[in-house]
Amino acid sequence: MSSKTIFGHPTGLFILFFTELWERFSFYGMRAILVLYLTADTLGDNPGLGWTNAEALELYGWYGMMVYIMSIPGGLLADRWLGQKKSVLLGGLLIILGQFTLAIESITAFYTGLALIISGVGALKPNISTMVGGLYKKGDARRDAGFTIFYIGINVGAFSAPLLVGYYGEIVDWQLGFSLAGFGMILGQIVYVFGRKHLTGIGEAYSSSEENTEMMKKPLTQIEKERMIVLGLSFLIMIVFWGAYEQAGGFMNLYAKQTVDRVVFGYEIPASFLQSLHAFYVIILGIPMAGFWLMWKRRGKESSAIFKMAIGTIVMGFGFMALVGAAYEVSVLALEKASLYWLLLSYLLHVVGELSSSPVALSFITKLAPMKYASFMMGAYFAVTGLGNKVAGLVGEAAEKAGALEVFTYVTIFCLAFGLLLLVFVKKLKALSHGAEDESVLEN
């Protein structure tokens, strides 16, 4: 790895930052218009597929799940054969193919495009995240900050995509929107290929050295096993978290389109634009939140990953409480539309929760997972976020049937109760990680 740094971090971090920025541009751009395209009238100026909300949300749920579940084979591919670096390249190519296939107007092309994107994200997403961890040695105190910077890159892509792809897709032409998403990924590949000299020695196939091949056969030690257990438990927390959060692209997207008053200063904001809000908040709050957690830690307060995830889930509960406000206006006060500010407040809280848990989870995995399972565990984490997406889809479908007010209330109660319960068990769970989060512990 080259020893050059930018802002005190390895240059390679910024190569991964821009590659992932464009990958996420492509991902979130396409996602911002997916359910809108599916439910758009077949006869309008910009014809869609004319599906019902329920049908669209069901496909969205499956897609959201599969796109992340494929991170398991994607992680294995890297650990066993290709290494992370080549897997990222392969994934990027598949995504480009997928986006342009979606741009062909035919139902077969539509499903083929989705399948290609699902495989591509599976090969790229977990492996690029593991590579970020690989830039830092064990015990390097910059690791968490590195993940926060990387996470901001993700969200620069996620912020700009719904605005551009959303505008061209929703307002002009769906197929043009999908093509734009494809161009985003092409830019990502260019950055990656030209920047690879800054990634020398990072993300090579673990099994490529003889010494490692021998190690791969060794059973896990007791400590490693317990660390895997605590990782598994932390994944459960994240299913709940993403299950609530990922309503955004599905049910909340349709809710914003159909039930929220989006007129600001006489101009109606397209629903897909609101898909940028989360990312906007992450960009603004990423550094201050990381700073807050650092200060918290320096004051000697509890700051383990599990603790932060529990706090994230509780804040998510408050985020849904704000949505209860929106649904209350429509269901109980019988207003025609819900006010936009509920949504603004709710998404803000979602992001405070996200910044307490998500970059933390990525960093936690690279600290706890045994080397030979590094990408696999990252893949398993993203698979879990995929289950969260599926849960979000199911919750969205339930809200279509039972009503938004009821479902938002249940999600609020569940997140608050679950988060509080976790706080009770933080110390026990932390013990299972055997000090892996402690910068002074360098063994393993």
Give the span between the Cα atoms of 279 and 289, in whole angstroms. Answer: 14
In whole angstroms, the minimum distance from the beta carbon of 440 to ligand GLN comes to 29
Which CB sits closer to ligand GLN, 10 or 249? Answer: 249
Give the span between the Cα atoms of 314 and 231, in whole angstroms. Answer: 20
Give the span between the Cα atoms of 391 and 241, in whole angstroms. Answer: 10
In 3D, which of 299, 36, 17 has the Cα closest to residue 165?
A: 36
- Which phi and psi (to 5°) does residue 229 adopt? -65, -45
Give the span between the Cα atoms of 92 and 189, in whole angstroms. Answer: 6
In whole angstroms, the minimum distance from the beta carbon of 307 to ligand GLN comes to 19
The binding site for ligand GLN (CB under 6 A) comprises 24, 154, 242, 358, 385
In whole angstroms, the minimum distance from the beta carbon of 106 to ligand GLN comes to 29
Q: What is the DSSP letter of 9?
A: E
CA-CA-CA-CA dihedral for 200, 202, 204, 208, to nearest 10: 90
Which CB sits closer to ligand GLN, 24 or 434? Answer: 24
In whole angstroms, the minimum distance from the beta carbon of 343 to ligand GLN comes to 18
In whole angstroms, the minimum distance from the beta carbon of 164 to ligand GLN comes to 17
In whole angstroms, the minimum distance from the beta carbon of 121 to ligand GLN comes to 10
Residues 6+ apart with CB under 8 A from 13: 6, 132, 135, 146, 149, 150
Which CB sits closer to ligand GLN, 351 or 405? Answer: 351
Which CB sits closer to ligand GLN, 198 or 278? Answer: 278
Which CB sits closer to ligand GLN, 48 or 120? Answer: 120
As a whole number of Å, the end-to-end CA separation of the chain is 21
Residues 6+ apart with CB under 8 A from 261: 336, 337, 338, 339, 340
Which CB sits closer to ligand GLN, 165 or 324? Answer: 165
Give the span between the Cα atoms of 46 and 169, in whole angstroms. Answer: 9
Q: Residue with the closest Cβ to ligand GLN?
A: 385
